[in-house]
Amino acid sequence: MVPIAGKTCLRMLRILATYYYSLIEFSFFKKKLEDSCLYRSDPYSSIWLYSLVHTIRLYNKKHYRSPTLGADIRANLRNLAIPASGIPMHLFFHNVFSASFFIIFIYPFAALVASAILSMYLKSPISTLFHEHLLQPSHWFARWRLNCFLVAWHAMLNEEDEGVMGQYSLEGKGEFLRAAEAAGDIPISPFRTDIGTLFAKHTHIEGGMGIHVLRNFTQGGDWILQDALTNDAALSRLLPPHTPLSTLRVVTGSRHWLVSSRSSHPRNIVNATATPLVDSVSVFTVVLRAGRAGASTDHNSICFPVDSTSGQLGLGRSNQHWYKLGTQNTFKVHDVFLKTWPGHPDGVGLIEGQEIPGIQSICDLCRRSHSKLLPEVPLVGWDVALTAELGPVILELNISCNFFLGEVDTAIYLKFMQDFVKAMQRHETGQA
């Protein structure tokens, strides 16, 4: 037992040494991604650690939708906890110093604890799990943070290019609806223009406390007024009664910026002559967010991966344990973290193996929309509703998007990230 335990500890110390050495390489030695010691043997780990260091470097710089990258991180993490701790994650990102402390100390410790817990459930070596969670995390949160890092840095590099920043502005729901409507061939959820201001009044609350005044965004307000849409018949058959509008998250990636003169000639950013082509846009993942019975939206859902070619649905999973805040969740391991569902947990029959009709046309719609509306933006997450009233429509887009537990081809995703990071390094230094 002692030799085995000793070998395990030695392996884990090597993993930890690799982690810290890579952080030093990228921060103090300012090495490029491809020049790091880890890159040739483990490019995924190298990109992950590169993103951590450069998140700190960019922390106080202007974000495309927030005052700074740090402010955007705090906003995104406000309802997330370190799993099984109950500790709100945003507390560690109060400023660049606390964020650095998190990356240097808290993250490795959390990865160690998670590996210890998972080794008991999965009967896998703790050192293998520690390597995965510290150096090669592939869970939804890590991929989300990688995506957010990529688009945040890309937007910063193009902040003086009005064309590119105009594309980033389409993450605003109203801006997207206007642009898609102007495009003419992108089906979207209809919005009301015939109502200027809507008063919503509670039937029982008195003293003016139950009144909500909603001014339409089409007339200078902040609210998009829309009629409710419902799931179509094919999707409804897979869901229990009283479920909300359940959407497909389709994530697409565009390589157009890589081949345009915006990336190859950073000092002449207005000379972008390459034609945006649908062929430069690919689909990374498709996920059905099956809303829970009684919920208002599909933000509370079980996520079923969808094959982007056949439309076949896989096993459902949940990430709700990441949202368990408060001391009542400290040291509490929620059963959903490894659980899968062949069907909806609130009723009806089997979902796994069923098919979403017309999935290829849905993917083509998202690819075409990415190419037409924001070809220079690397990643876009499209929320597509399959409605009884209008058929498939796009509700909104998300640029700082996550894959929602979808299945992603790691090799393709890694190549995409590598190509963008290398191009952005060149762009930042002014190299052609």
Q: Look at residue 315 and tell me whether its pLDDT is greater than 70.
A: yes
Q: Report the b/e string of 318-328 with b at 16+ CB within 10 A.
A: bbebbebbeee
What pLDDT, on a 0 to 100 scale, did the predictor assign at position 333? 76
The pTM of this model reads: 0.93
- Rg value, the chain, Cα: 23
Confidence grade of residue 273 (pLDDT, cut at 50, 70, 90): very low
Distance CA 39, CA 53 (A): 15
φ/ψ region of 32 (left if φ > 0, alpha if ψ in -120 to 50, else beta) reads beta
For residue 28, is pLDDT > 90?
yes
Residue 113's pLDDT is 93
**For residues 12 and 135, what is the distance between their CA atoms, to the nearest angstrom?**
11
pLDDT at res. 269: 37
**Range 125-144 average pLDDT:** 96
Mean of pLDDT values over 155-165: 96
pLDDT at residue 272 is higher than 50: no
**Could you tell me the pLDDT band of residue 278, with boundaries at 50, 70 and 90?**
confident
pLDDT at 5 over 50: yes
pLDDT for 99: 98
According to the model, what pLDDT value does residue 129 have? 96
Most confident of 82-86, 151-155, 343-347: 151-155
Instruction: Please state, rounded to an integer, the average pLDDT across all residues of the chain.
Output: 93
Is residue 263's pLDDT more than 60? no
Would you say residue 49 has pLDDT above 50? yes
With H, G, I as helix, E, B as strand and everything else as coil, classify residue 87: coil
Quick: pLDDT tens for 211-223: 999 999 999 999 9
19 closest CA partner among 99, 105, 77, 140: 105
Q: So what's the pLDDT on residue 276?
A: 58
**Average confidence (pLDDT) over 157-182:** 97
Task: State mean pLDDT over 134-140.
Answer: 96
Strands (E) in 51-160, as ranges, are none
Rounded CA gap, 155 and 32, in Å?
19
Q: Which helix (H) or strand (E) holds 253?
A: strand 247-254
SS (H, E, C) 39-65: CCCCHHHHHHHHHHHHHHHCCCCCCCC
Exposure pattern of 78-106 as b/e (b: 16+ CB <10 Å)?
eebbbbbbbbebbebbeebeebbebbeeb
- Residue-level pLDDT at 262: 60
Give all domains of the chain, ordered by start, each with its CATH number. Answer: 4-161 (no CATH), 162-189+228-422 (3.30.470.20), 192-225 (no CATH)
Residue 208: pLDDT band with limits 50, 70, 90: confident
